[in-house]
A and B are shown apart, each in its own frame.
Chain A
Amino acid sequence: MEDSPHIPPVPATDPAEQYLVLLNEHERALAAYVHTLVPDRLDAEDILQSCKLTMWKQFSGFEPGTHFLAWARKIAFHQILNHRRGAKRKPLYSAEPAFLEAVAAEIDRVADSFSDRSEALHECLKRLPENQRRLVLLRYYEDHDIAAIARETDRTEAAVYKLLSRIRAALNDCVKSRLDSSAA
């Protein structure tokens, strides 16, 4: 298995390989799920790591042929609740369990249509004008906050926030229209 990072054409028999193949396929959607429910970025990344470990430990309980992502989401949701209870530091926005339940239910409702969004987003990112790309990189790649970006680009914080909101709205519109047109 070491020499093939690609999804093999025939079903794998080794459980570790099966797991890796499935995880590879659904990892992006799972990451988006956790990041959607957990506002704190570092928390989300920690949860995602422990979630993958837990999933591997419980993989024998997964029935091949059933919905891997749905199964993974369930495990992730418990991880999120556990993490919330055991958190040593309080994040800026700590989510209430009732809120998490409501949002998780909404994601479950739309999740299958959302799993295509990653590809569409990549296409839409490529279409952004140059200066907006820079802002996306500063915000998401460099992980700078609004105040740091404002200093770096000589804008006011309000202007940076407005521009970021506009970029995200444009990306969302672009993603939706791409998915609509590919569905049609």
Chain B
Amino acid sequence: MNFHDHIDRSLDGQLSEAEWTALQQAVIADPELRREYVEKRWLHALLESESASLPALLEEPQWVKPATVFRPAAWITAAAALALFAGSGILFYQSRPAPVVATLIEAENCRWAGSDLPTVEGAGLSAGTLALTEGMATIRFKSGATVTLEAPSVLEVESAMKCRLVEGSVVADVPESAHGFTIDTAKMEVIDLGTKFGVTTTPLGDSNVFVFEGEVKVKRDDLPEAKHVFAGKSLVSKAGATPEQTDQEVRRVEAPATSPGPGWMAVTTATGRGRDAFLRRGDGHGPTGAHPLLMVKHTDLAPNNERRALLSFDLAGIDRSALRAAKLALKIEPSGLGFSSLVPDSRFALYGVIDPVAAAWSESDLLWKSAGSLVDEPLASGSATRLAEFEIRKGSPNRLIEVHSDAFVDFLRSHPDEIISLLIVRETGESDQQGLVHAFASKEHPASPAPTLWLQTADHP
């Protein structure tokens, strides 16, 4: 019989009465076992008899409950009791600096805002807030859980086992040792059950959880029971009364803020008969002309998530024969979909649409299935011509990017139609279906500049 195990089990009340009796006999009979019993019991006894000092020793203030069971000693006079307990009390409840619960192990190309925690690589983090505006940062919690923060994100570190995602995206990799690691959001609480998973949340309060490996448990105030989410599955939590997307159209009138200098003129997709939208294979959301984001994604893993952006600029009245330079300005926006850590630096291609049928698209009814030559794979040279390439690096900031090339200028100069259409395609795939969906502000975006075509003509040297 394994009495070593009996001893351990007796400490936790896991022994049957018969086993306890057998253990007692064995301890009486066997001096070696007796030695072991006393050693194990003694440790257990110390933990029991000094349990009041454990929270202070283990330095996790949020676990300290102020009211511990206190049994007044009936045997001693009040004055003596005062002296005795004052002595032992002071030992245990001194104030201490905030304990370090995590380490910032990687911070590449990071820019931080409003963080009350240190943001240099290798810094120890106590409870507090991290606000990442650019780049990607990785935090290892003392529990062993690793959380990669993708800009723009705001994360509150609470303890070695818990953090709170205020806004943005994180991917968590949680080893067995940190089982139970929790990421809290405004809408739900995601509890790890040994896994790799991602959480995104938007300022509106929508939260999504994606499980890459293993299993998580999701608790939501509006659900009576916790929900289990398994590998390959996701759970979307919409903020109560918020509509899925803004459907009122916001036409922008002001010119984009950043002018390249004198001699340049701006045409946006909001100008004249300009249009913008994105195509999504599967057409799950219907026409996207009124959407504030132009979403772009390439994937071989989930074909229905393939997305391309389409822009049309009204160049009526502009003498393009004298065009000297041109550039397309796009404002990168967080899509709230997917995780940039699962997509490498991404290459995009800009095409000029030649096919007149395809170029005559309408915002109100454009669908992937009706987009004709715009969704060919690869694009036929007779329907679209490749003008330029650009790259968006992993974790790069949501800034304004500019695309230009000689081929682009040539296309604008020579294309006969008053309205020219451009197609943006991502050429880099992803390592997981939950890879990032890139997005650019459309003309419906409430805060960011619409896609803008900057033109410089010879008249304005």
Complex interface residues of chain B between 140 and 157 (CB less than 8 A to chain A): 141-144
Which of B56-64, B242-250, B318-326 binds A? B56-64
Interface membership of B83, Cβ < 8 A: yes
Given A121, A125, A131, which contacts B143 in the complex, CB threshold below 8 Å?
A: A131
Instruction: Count A/B pairs, Cβ under 8 Å.
Output: 192
- Give Cα distance in the complex from A54 to B143, angstroms: 46
Binary per-residue interface labels of chain A (113-148) against chain B in the complex, 1 for a CB within 8 Å, 0 otherwise: 010011001100110111101101101111101100
Asked whether A106 lies within 8 Å of B38 as measured between CB atoms, the reply is: yes
Binary per-residue interface labels of chain A (21-65) against chain B in the complex, 1 for a CB within 8 Å, 0 otherwise: 001100010011111100101001100111011001000000000
Residues in chain B near residue A146, CB distance under 8 A: 12-14
Asked whether A129 lies within 8 Å of B42 as measured between CB atoms, the reply is: no
Asked whether B86 lies within 8 Å of A5 as measured between CB atoms, the reply is: yes
Asked whether B24 lies within 8 Å of A161 as measured between CB atoms, the reply is: no
Chain B: residues with Cβ within 8 Å of the partner, total of 71
Interface membership of A180, Cβ < 8 A: no
Interface membership of A10, Cβ < 8 A: no
Q: How far is the CB of B161 from chain A (nearest CB, A)?
A: 7
Asked whether B180 lies within 8 Å of A102 as measured between CB atoms, the reply is: no
Asked whether A140 lies within 8 Å of B51 as measured between CB atoms, the reply is: yes
Interface membership of B223, Cβ < 8 A: no
Residues in chain A near residue B13, CB distance under 8 A: 92, 145-146
Nearest B residue to A93 via CB reads: B20
Interface centre among B10, B58, B84 (most CB of A within 10 A): B58
Chain A: residues with Cβ within 8 Å of the partner, total of 69
Binary per-residue interface labels of chain B (164-203) against chain A in the complex, 1 for a CB within 8 Å, 0 otherwise: 0000000000000111100000000001010000000000
Interface membership of A67, Cβ < 8 A: no
Asked whether A93 lies within 8 Å of B10 as measured between CB atoms, the reply is: yes
Interface centre among A33, A110, A125, A141 (most CB of B within 10 A): A141
- Give Cα distance in the complex from A1 to B180, angstroms: 49
Residues in chain A near residue B79, CB distance under 8 A: 1-2
Nearest B residue to A100 via CB reads: B24
Asked whether A118 lies within 8 Å of B50 as measured between CB atoms, the reply is: yes
Q: How far is the CB of B230 from chain A (nearest CB, A)?
A: 15
Given A56, A154, A175, which contacts B76 in the complex, CB threshold below 8 Å?
A: A56
Asked whether A32 lies within 8 Å of B28 as measured between CB atoms, the reply is: no
Asked whether B46 lies within 8 Å of A117 as measured between CB atoms, the reply is: yes
Interface membership of A20, Cβ < 8 A: yes
> Which A residues contact B (CB, under 8 angstroms)?
1-2, 4-6, 16, 20, 23-24, 28, 31-36, 39, 41, 44-45, 48-50, 52-53, 56, 92-93, 95-96, 98-99, 102-103, 106-107, 110, 114, 117-118, 121-122, 125-126, 128-131, 133-134, 136-137, 139-143, 145-146, 153-155, 161, 164-165, 168, 171-172, 175
| 16 examples of A-B residue contacts, CB within 8 angstroms | A20-B83, A32-B49, A44-B45, A52-B75, A52-B76, A117-B46, A121-B46, A128-B58, A130-B60, A130-B160, A131-B144, A134-B161, A139-B12, A140-B54, A154-B180, A172-B43
> Which B residues contact A (CB, under 8 angstroms)?
8-15, 17, 20, 24, 27-28, 31, 34-35, 37-55, 57-60, 63, 65, 71, 73-77, 79-80, 82-84, 86-88, 90, 101, 141-144, 159-161, 177-180, 191, 193, 217
13 additional A-B residue pairs with CB within 8 Å, beyond A1-B80, A4-B83:
A20-B84, A24-B84, A41-B48, A52-B76, A56-B75, A106-B34, A110-B35, A130-B144, A131-B178, A137-B58, A137-B63, A155-B180, A164-B11
